[in-house]
Amino acid sequence: MYAPLDFVRLQPDEQRDRLRAFYELMSRRRTVRDFSTEPVPLELVELAIATAGTAPSGANVQPWRFVVVQDPEIKQRIREAAEAEERISYERRMPEKWLRRLAALGTDWHKPFLEVAPCLVVVFRVDYEIDVATGEREGTYYATESVGIAVGLLISALHSAGLATLTHNPSPMRFLGEILDRPKNETPFVLLPVGYPAEGAMVPDLARKPLGEILSIR
């Protein structure tokens, strides 16, 4: 079944102006690790997640689930579990080259932002669905790619709303499904603290690769 496409054709000048404004907005986006404890209106987070839910997905199965965590006790449990895994990674799992990369960013296994940030958004990838009537299992299609696109939209939406975040991937992340009591068909994909930057927050002085280094036109 099909429906008419809702599409507005823009004039070239408006296309360029919109893209330029969006680029300038997103070019100011930075990963933030120093958060204020100031609460974030839940409506903003919900709207950002609704935006993420508009992402394209393989066979339109929309293989993503978003869990918003505000409860201080649950955030504490997540921090403790994440730091336990990260400590092992920093001490034993990560190769020396990776550690050198991280040293330039000043990160280690301590993750206080998981408690300080007023809100955590945990994104899960749905690996298969179960037919309620038959009990049969059906795999999702291009789930990793689809969830990755949705997370990109989520990060963009949060930034456009004036909120800060970072992508945190403690490895392994199975503890997130256990703590948040998620079904076995969901795999943790990424953990995003969300909030306002702390006053005087600092970020690494990094440069993004120029367009000529990331673009090839044939």
The average pLDDT across 95-101 equals 88
Give 165-196 pLDDT, tens digit per residue. 999 998 899 999 999 999 999 999 999 999 99
The average pLDDT across 51-60 equals 97
The average pLDDT across 9-13 equals 98
51 phi and psi, to 5 degrees?
-65, -45
Count other C-beta atoms under 10 Å from residue 189's C-beta. 24
Q: Please compute Rg for the chain using Cα positions.
A: 19
217 phi and psi, to 5 degrees?
-115, 125
Question: How confident is the model at residue 9, as a pLDDT?
Answer: 97
d(CA 162, CA 157): 9
Q: Rounded mean pLDDT of the chain?
A: 95
Cis preceding linkage at 63, omega within 30: no
The average pLDDT across 51-67 equals 97
Residue 130 has pLDDT above 90, yes or no: no
Q: Where are the domains of the chain?
A: 33-196
Residue 106 has pLDDT above 90, yes or no: no
Strands 186-195 and 119-126: what pairing? Answer: antiparallel
Residue 115 has pLDDT above 90, yes or no: yes
Beta carbons within 8 Å of 213's beta carbon, 6+ residues apart: none
Question: How confident is the model at residue 102, as a pLDDT?
Answer: 86
Residue 104 has pLDDT above 90, yes or no: no
d(CA 21, CA 129): 40
Residue 131 has pLDDT above 90, yes or no: no
Question: How confident is the model at residue 103, as a pLDDT?
Answer: 85
The average pLDDT across 151-163 equals 98
Residue 135 has pLDDT above 90, yes or no: no
126 phi and psi, to 5 degrees?
-85, 115
Question: How confident is the model at residue 38, as a pLDDT?
Answer: 98
Q: Which CATH architecture has domain 33-196?
A: 3-Layer(aba) Sandwich (3.40)
